[in-house]
């Protein structure tokens, strides 16, 4: 009888373990330009970093972060900028 292989769902947060990985992940996602994909990626990074830490750094409530980054969320520009700043990421425009 063959050994059983245990599978678990793939979770991107396990790979977002450095500033470089986070920056590269967000750069690729922002390049796509899909607002929903950006929201999901920011949620992934927030979970990888820890919502409590992000809450402290942004000054936003935990519920506001979950509302903005959760399914169906639509963060305001102010919220987006606060999150990016807390993550140590800057947005730039390239022509």
Domain assignment present for residue 2? The answer is: no
> Is 8 part of any domain?
no
Q: Is residue 9 part of a domain?
A: no
Query: In the chain, how many domains are there?
Result: 1
Please check whether residue 11 lies inside any domain of the structure.
no
d(CA 80, CA 86): 10
Domain that holds residue 40: 19-86
pLDDT digits (tens, 9 = 90+) for 66-94: 999 999 999 999 999 999 999 888 888 87
Q: Which of 75, 73, 24 is nearest to 45 (CA)?
A: 24
Return the SS3 of 25.
helix
Tens digit of pLDDT for each residue in 29-42? 999 999 999 999 99
95 within a domain of the structure (yes/no):
no
- Nearest-angstrom CA–CA distance, 58 and 83: 6
């Amino acid at each position: 009888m063959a050994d059983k292989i245990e599978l678990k769902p793939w979770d991107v947060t396990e790979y977002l373990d450095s500033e470089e990985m986070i920056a590269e992940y967000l750069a690729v996602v922002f390049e796509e330009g899909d607002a929903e994909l950006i929201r999901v990626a920011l949620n992934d990074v927030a979970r990888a970093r820890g919502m409590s830490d992000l809450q402290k750094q942004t000054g936003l409530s935990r519920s506001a972060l979950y509302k903005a980054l959760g399914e169906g969320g639509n963060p305001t520009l102010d919220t987006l900028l606060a999150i990016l700043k807390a993550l140590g990421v800057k947005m730039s425009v390239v022509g």
